[in-house]
Amino acid sequence: MNEFIIKKLEDDIINKYLNYKNLYINRKYSSSKKVIKKIDHYLWWFQKQQKRISFIIEKKQIPIFISTSDYFFLKNKKFIYSGLISCLPETNLFDLLKGIKIQNEYLKTQKNNICIISIDRKNKVLMHHWKYFGYSPLYKDNYLYNSIIKNLKISKNFNVFFKKIKR
């Protein structure tokens, strides 16, 4: 039996999802460090969450991560902004790398897209590992940089990385 499995994210997870998002481990490296209010979360759920593609990564039937993918168009190009939300207050490097690997396997199937990730500069683990997953830094002189930062409301403390998924 496979130790790690992925599951479809259903609407009935709405309250648990908020609890996960409000875990310190997630807020610490998020652009907004504030605890999210329930009313704001409910509004976001109906307005934004339903537009993104998410799935749950379970280890031994316990949810450990939620993988999120937001799809958007910019300057005639298709983009996916992906993220990972921890479902546990603490995680280990092995699970994290496994979670990223599973997410990348999904992203590989999304042909003809450009994948974007943003990493807090203080997040030393991910700042050392992005290269192993085929990402390259998106530098400020790139013509897409400003549009992406503005569109995704990425904070200045974050570095942006991208990779192209070819046909």
Partner 1 sequence: MENIFFGKIFGKFKLLNITYIFMKGRVFKQKNETTIPNDFFYFYEKFEESKEFNIRLLEINSINKFNPFRYFYSLYEKYLRYRTGLSFYGNEFLKYQNLKTVYKSDKILLVNESVSFSLLLLFLFLKKITKIEITIILMGLFSKINVNNKYHSRILKRMFNLYDKFIFVGKGEYDFAQKNYPEWSEKYFFLPFSVDQDFWKPKKNNQNKKEILFLGNDLNRDFEFAYNLGKNMTKYSFIFVSNGFSKYKKHKNIQILNSNWSEGSLADIDIRNIFEKSALTIVPLINTIQPSGQSVSLQSMSMNVPVIITKTEGFWDSDTFKNYKNIIIKHKPQNISGIISGTKIFISSASTSMFEASFLKVPSLLFRMNSNQNLIDSAYEKLGHFFNLDKKDLISTHKIAKLIMLMFKNRNKIKKMMIKSNIEVEKIKKNYRKIFKFNNE
Binding site for partner 1 (CB under 8 A): 10-12, 14-16, 37-40, 42-43, 46-47
Residue 54 CB, nearest distance to partner 1 (Å)? 15
DSSP 130: G
Residue 151 CB, nearest distance to partner 1 (Å)? 23
Residue 22 CB, nearest distance to partner 1 (Å)? 12
End-to-end, the C-alpha distance of the chain in Å comes to 32
Q: Which is nearer to partner 1, 26 or 103 (CB)?
A: 26
Measure the CA–CA gap between 72 and 56, rounded to whole angstroms: 21
Measure the CA–CA gap between 84 and 99, rounded to whole angstroms: 8
Residue 67 CB, nearest distance to partner 1 (Å)? 22
Q: Which is nearer to partner 1, 32 or 155 (CB)?
A: 32
Measure the CA–CA gap between 75 and 104, rounded to whole angstroms: 24
Q: Which is nearer to partner 1, 16 or 150 (CB)?
A: 16
Measure the CA–CA gap between 68 and 85, rounded to whole angstroms: 8
Neighbours of 100 (CB within 10 A): 21
Q: Which is nearer to partner 1, 20 or 158 (CB)?
A: 20
Residue 48 CB, nearest distance to partner 1 (Å)? 11
Residues contacting 162, CB < 8 A, separation 6+: 114, 115, 116, 117, 135, 136, 138
Q: Which is nearer to partner 1, 18 or 148 (CB)?
A: 18
